[in-house]
């Protein structure tokens, strides 16, 4: 089997985008990706995969993959389809594209993530997010995302002595990174005192622990790695993309502080890529809530179990630390337009490995990792990327 490589990336501005519809957001990211790649035209694309979580509810539009293809003038001979996997939609779409290229089904695949979340009434958005879990047995009883991750935070604090300040330091770090990202939603720093004074959401989580409702789109062009240098002088190789899923309800999560499907997906990703966690230079992880990033440090092997709070406190996840995490600002500050998130993570890793991340550049970045999560820690996609030698 062959390998795939990233030869073009694009990202819309994230935020409340009253100036753009769903298809227009997608076009922003796709246009930028074609500008980034060399000698690839819309007519060269063989397959299109669109990641979008719930456009039926948020913008009252289904069948969005052909819709976007038509708007962009793309007529893929190997088909176009949409992937829905809640917040991990983007990661799953990339995995499907990688499989298509590795299997020989296609040699050029356009992967687009897009979500328009701010147009719908707030009550509709909240319902849309809450039904990601088991509606009949959990959501209607109050086990929504903030409640579930608050339980994880409480348990981590009880077992490992993690403090409110540790959660706050994740938010402070990611806002500082977002200030350096022209595409981020929140381009401003926050202080630890601002964090502590932010309104409570679900104890111990506060407003500044939570990723925002957001509009945005992202795009990656994947080709066969053997041909990648035809289209970009600095292509990025997909070393591995793995996924592990255990179900959909919180009852399938038998340990709130160790997410076993993440541990498993990460272990396989490292093995297939032939690297260890210590070789990762830069990572984009799924910080839907600040506690998630702390647990992910541990389960991805960046530090020992229970040391996630100290890891951020010591600056080991900052730019210049042991492994720079969420240099884009993460979901917390860059924004979290659901379907676009997993693909936006690869955009950032690609820029970092090329040395094109500007003021947030990680010096000498050679290996990058992405982690995209769906549901309450039940569905995990881990990708490993490297500079082509």
The DSSP code sequence of 100-123 is HHHHTS-SEEEEEEEE--SSS-HH
Q: What is the pLDDT of residue 142?
A: 84
- Residues 279, 300: one domain? yes
- The domain tally of the chain equals 2
- Residues 186, 277: one domain? yes
Q: Which of 87, 210, 288, 303 is catalytic?
A: 87
Beta partners for 243? 381
Q: What is the pLDDT of residue 240?
A: 98
d(CA 20, CA 5): 30
Q: Please calculate the CA angle 230-110-335 and round it to the nearest 5 degrees.
A: 115
Beta partners for 283? 325, 369
Tell me how crowded residue 137 is: count the other CB atoms within 10 A of its CB: 13
- Residues 246, 377: one domain? yes
Q: Which two tokens stand for residue 132?
A: 């990601």
Mean pLDDT of 373-378: 93
Give start and end residues of each alpha helix (H) in 52-184: 55-58, 64-72, 89-103, 122-130, 145-160, 164-178
Mean pLDDT of 37-48: 96
d(CA 369, CA 352): 11
Q: What is the pLDDT of residue 389?
A: 84
Bond preceding residue 225 cis, omega within 30 of 0: no
Q: Is residue 178 part of a domain?
A: yes
Give 222's pLDDT tier (boundaries 50, 70, 90).
very high
DSSP secondary structure letter of residue 170: H
Q: Which of 156, 166, 175, 336 is catalytic?
A: 336
Q: What is the pLDDT of residue 140?
A: 85
Bond preceding residue 204 cis, omega within 30 of 0: yes
The residue among 297, 292, 311 whose CA lies nearest residue 378 is: 292
Report whether pLDDT(85) > 70. yes
Q: What is the pLDDT of residue 1?
A: 67
282-284/236-245 β-pairing = unpaired
- Residues 272, 358: one domain? yes
Give 2's pLDDT tier (boundaries 50, 70, 90).
confident
pLDDT 10s digits, 224-281: 999 999 999 999 999 999 999 998 877 788 899 999 999 999 999 999 999 999 999 9
Q: Is residue 49 part of a domain?
A: yes
d(CA 326, CA 287): 8
- Residues 104, 221: one domain? yes
Q: For residue 281, give the CATH number of its domain.
A: 3.40.47.10
Q: What is the pLDDT of residue 335?
A: 98
Q: What is the pLDDT of residue 141?
A: 85
pLDDT 10s digits, 277-330: 999 999 999 999 999 999 999 999 999 999 999 999 999 999 999 999 999 999
Q: Is 288 a catalytic residue?
A: no
Mean pLDDT of 327-339: 98
Give 136's pLDDT tier (boundaries 50, 70, 90).
confident
Mean pLDDT of 333-357: 98
- Residues 12, 148: one domain? no
- Residues 95, 228: one domain? yes
Domain assignment of residue 137, given as a range: 132-211+237-387
Mean pLDDT of 354-368: 98
Query: What does the mean pLDDT of the chain come to?
Result: 97
Q: Is residue 126 part of a domain?
A: no
- Residues 95, 61: one domain? yes
Give 102's pLDDT tier (boundaries 50, 70, 90).
very high
Q: Is 336 a catalytic residue?
A: yes
d(CA 298, CA 162): 13
CB contact set of 285 (below 8 Å; sequence gap of 6+)? 292, 293, 296, 300, 325, 326, 330, 369, 370, 371
pLDDT 10s digits, 55-67: 999 999 999 999 9
- Residues 16, 54: one domain? yes
- Residues 33, 52: one domain? yes
d(CA 232, CA 38): 6
Q: Which two tokens stand for residue 171?
A: 């938010």
- Residues 196, 277: one domain? yes
The residue among 148, 196, 175, 176 whose CA lies nearest residue 295 is: 148
- Residues 64, 108: one domain? yes
Q: What is the pLDDT of residue 249?
A: 77
Q: Which two tokens stand for residue 254?
A: 């038998």
Give 137's pLDDT tier (boundaries 50, 70, 90).
confident
């Amino acid at each position: 089997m062959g390998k795939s490589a990233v030869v073009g990336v694009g990202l819309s501005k994230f935020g409340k985008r009253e100036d753009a519809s769903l298809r227009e957001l997608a076009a922003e990211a796709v246009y930028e990706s074609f500008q980034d790649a060399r000698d690839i035209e819309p007519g060269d694309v063989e397959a299109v995969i669109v990641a979008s979580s719930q456009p039926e509810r948020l913008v009252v539009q289904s069948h969005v993959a052909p819709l976007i293809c038509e708007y962009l003038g793309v007529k893929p001979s190997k088909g176009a389809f949409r992937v829905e996997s809640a917040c991990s939609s983007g990661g799953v779409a990339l995995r499907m594209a990688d499989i298509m290229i590795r299997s020989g089904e296609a040699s050029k695949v356009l992967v687009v993530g897009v979500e328009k979340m701010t147009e719908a009434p707030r009550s509709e958005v909240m319902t849309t997010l809450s039904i990601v879990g088991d509606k009949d047995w959990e959501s209607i009883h109050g086990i929504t995302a903030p409640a579930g991750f608050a339980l994880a935070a409480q348990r981590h604090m009880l077992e490992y002595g993690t403090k409110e300040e540790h959660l706050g330091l994740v938010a402070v770090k990611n806002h500082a990174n977002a200030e350096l990202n022209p595409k981020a939603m929140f381009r401003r720093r926050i202080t630890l005192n601002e964090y502590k004074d932010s309104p409570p959401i679900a104890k111990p989580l506060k407003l500044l622990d939570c990723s925002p409702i957001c509009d945005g789109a992202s795009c990656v062009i994947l080709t066969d790695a053997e041909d990648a240098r035809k289209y970009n002088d600095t292509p990025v190789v997909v070393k591995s993309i793995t996924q592990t899923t255990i179900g959909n309800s919180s009852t399938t999560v038998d340990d709130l502080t160790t997410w076993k499907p993440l541990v498993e997906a990460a272990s396989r990703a490292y093995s297939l890529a032939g690297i260890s966690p210590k070789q990762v230079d830069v990572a984009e992880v799924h910080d839907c809530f600040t506690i998630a990033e702390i647990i992910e440090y541990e389960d991805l092997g960046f530090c020992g179990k229970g040391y996630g709070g100290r890891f951020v406190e010591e600056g080991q996840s900052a730019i210049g630390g042991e492994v720079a995490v969420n240099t884009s600002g993460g979901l917390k500050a860059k924004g979290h337009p659901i379907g676009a998130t997993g693909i936006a993570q690869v955009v950032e890793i690609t820029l970092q490995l090329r040395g094109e991340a500007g003021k947030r550049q990680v010096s000498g970045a050679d290996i990058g990792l992405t982690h995209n999560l769906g549901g309450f820690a039940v569905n995990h996609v881990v990708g490993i990327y490297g500079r082509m030698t």
